[in-house]
Amino acid sequence: MVNSEASQVKIKARKVTVHYGDARALHGIDLDLNANEVTALIGPSGCGKSTFLRCINRMNDVIEGCRVGGAVSIDDQNIYSDEIDVVELRARVGMVFQKPNPFPKSIYDNVAYGPRIHGMASSRAQLDAVVESSLKRAGLWEEVKDRLDAPGTGLSGGQQQRLCIARAIAVNPAIVLMDEPCSALDPIATAVIEELIEELRRDYTIVIVTHSMQQAARISQRTAYFHLGNLVEHGPTQAIFTNPENQQTEAYISGKIG
Amino acid sequence: MNENHIVSSFDEDLAELNQLVARLGGLAEQQLAAAVDALENRDASSIDKIIAGDAELDQLEQDLNDRAIEVIAMRAPMATDLRSILSAVKIATVLERVGDYSKNIAKRSLVIINEETNRAETISLARIADIVQGMLRQALDAYATANADLAMEVWERDEEVDELYTSLHSDLLRVIASGHEQASVSSHFLFIAKNIERIGDHTTAVAEQVYFQVHGEMPPEERPKADASSQIGESD
């Protein structure tokens, strides 16, 4: 599954630390994430995996008292340097959250929101095309093409989540971060999203936080196990789930520590 | 890994599979011992029981397969847990085969039970049977205690079995080739010896599974192979 020849490092984290006030949440993470791969971040609650995820698009900046140290670079550019435009960064690094959070707007406007504020479409026809292609890539087009004016919040949970994915990819990001994107969905909607993730990785680098070991095993090429703010083990997913090197990883994936 | 699962019934499921393997192992050992005893003591009285006992082994293997499928489906095991279930299934298959060979030994013993066999050959066969029984016991102990080092000792002991078998094989072939009146008995004897030698091979497969379960990979090198009987058969 992991094609080492083709894999190219997209995101490079070096000595990444995060403090919330005086509490240190990450203790110096070194991690390379490959382009066009799905990397799953796993670990018990409070292990730092979501904190790490939020370092990749500087979402931690908006949390009061949060300090990030070390460096995270995307395509060898440090995203914590002063020249970085954070708004532009968040267009390059899209994010999908645990609970589907469509804007209280129409399906169309949800997807068109990003391209509009980033000035990515110069005509209505161009915007229509972006909305259509984004909904198609998110696997939602056939289900909503006849009711684009209907409110996004009226869709089912699984559809809402795909709408959020369409919204994230409408601004043409390089990376999509997903923080437990299926934990509020039923198994069918989950399977649809998982299938979608597999398709999306052709165009995007995907980093997903999940509490489901089976989901990590099903959809990711690499898995990173976090525990108490440290990266314990990182490797090809099939190795992590069949024969992990670290005893702590083994205990976690086998359901021996909570 | 001594830690228990948070869901304790998962531990119970795994323990149950281990117990099923232990029961299968005990039964396979019994069947082999009974077959060897029947042959060595020229005692036909236990042979029907051995043949009937094989059906019990078959059923037990089936039960273990069914339980293993349920545990995999219900628990979605990972890493060591997954390997131990897979090993249990594979070892059960091997033990069922040991039972088949034991049954075959018993059936052939019945044919030659009233015949004279050469004393040296009988002693040689008893020696092979003794080693193989010891190997089987040790392999099952290695499984029960998840001891990969012990398992590898079993693996290595098979070399001795192969050497003894190769030697016995050529002795028996000589008798068969001579057209001696004992040729028919010797051919049965040869098959019995082959069955016991095959049980030795299967026992090494149990040992390999124990190693795999512990280390997550198969043993590093090819097992030393000393059974040259196939080459001898061709050149003779």
- Asked if A250's CB is within 8 angstroms of B80's CB, the reply is yes
DSSP B5: P
How far apart are the CA of B66 and the nearest CA of chain A, in angstroms?
22
A-B CB pairs within 8 A amount to 43
Residue A86's φ and ψ, nearest 5 degrees, are -65, -35
Chain-chain contact of A241 with B78 (C-beta, under 8 angstroms): yes
Full DSSP string of B110-146 = HHHTTS---HHHHHHHHHHHHHHHHHHHHHHHHHHTT
Measure the CA dihedral A118/A9/A96/A61, to 10°.
Answer: -70
Pairing of strands A222-227, A66-74: unpaired
Neighboring chain A residues of B79 at a CB cutoff of 8 Å: 241-244, 250, 253-254
Structural domains of chain B sorted by starting position, each given as residue range(s) with its CATH number in brackets:
8-235 (1.20.58.220)
| Minimum-distance CB partner of B78 among A253, A257, A258 | A253
Condensed to tens digits (0 to 9), the pLDDT of residues A113-145 reads 999 999 998 999 999 999 999 999 999 999 999
Length of chain A (residues)? 258
Cβ-defined contact of B217 to A243 (cutoff 8 Å)? yes
Interface residues of chain B, partner chain A, Cβ below 8 Å: 1, 3-7, 10, 76-83, 216-217
Predicted confidence (pLDDT) per residue in A148-162, tens digit: 999 999 999 999 999
Q: Identify the pLDDT of residue B67.
A: 96
Quote the pLDDT of residue A37: 97
Using CB atoms, which residue from A244, A253, A255 is nearest to B10? A255
What fold does the segment set A9-101+174-253 form as a domain? Rossmann fold (3.40.50)
Of B4, B83, B216, which is closest to A256 when you measure between CB atoms?
Answer: B4
Of the candidates B79, B216, B217, the beta carbon closest to that of A254 is on B79
Residue B235 has a pLDDT of 38
Q: What are the extents of the domains in chain A?
A: 9-101+174-253
* Chain B CB within 8 Å of residue A31 CB: no
Q: Which residue of A has its CA nearest to B86?
A: A242
| Residue B170 to residue B230: CA distance in whole angstroms | 10
Among chain B residues, the shortest Cα distance to A253 is held by: B78
Contact residues, chain B, for A251 at CB < 8 Å: 1, 3
Q: Say if A250 is an interface residue toward chain B (CB within 8 Å).
A: yes
* CB atoms B78 and A247 under 8 Å: no
| Greatest extent of chain B over all pairs of C-alpha atoms, in Å | 68
What span, in angstroms and rounded, lies between the C-alpha atoms of B92 and B22?
Answer: 9
Does the distance separating the beta carbons of B79 and A241 come in below 8 Å? yes
CA distance B125 to A82: 83
- Contact flag B78-A254 (C-beta cutoff 8 Å): yes
Question: The complex's ipTM?
Answer: 0.73
> How high is the pLDDT of residue B221?
74
The average confidence (pLDDT) of chain A is 94
Give the separation between CA A74 and CA A92, rounded to whole angstroms. 10
Q: Is the CB of residue B60 less than 8 Å from the CB of residue B23?
A: yes
Pair of tokens at residue A195: 């299938």
Q: Which residues of B touch A214 (CB under 8 A)?
A: 76
Identify the CA nearest to B153 among candidates B174, B164, B143, B138. Answer: B138
Give residue B233's pLDDT: 41
Residue A1 pLDDT greater than 50, yes or no: no
Full pLDDT tens readout for chain B, 236 residues: 457 898 899 999 999 999 999 999 999 999 999 999 998 888 889 999 999 999 999 999 999 999 999 999 999 999 999 999 999 999 999 999 999 999 999 999 988 888 877 788 889 999 999 999 999 999 999 999 999 999 999 989 999 999 999 999 999 999 889 888 888 889 999 999 999 999 999 999 999 999 999 999 999 876 656 566 665 443 33
CA distance B88 to B106: 27
Tens digits of per-residue pLDDT, A179-228?
999 998 899 989 999 999 999 999 999 999 999 999 999 999 999 999 99
- Contact criterion met (CB below 8 Å) for B49 and B107: no
Contacts of residue B71, Cβ cutoff 8 Å, sequence gap at least 6: B13, B14, B17, B77, B85
- A38-42/A23-34 β-pairing: unpaired
Residue of B nearest to A243 (CA): B79
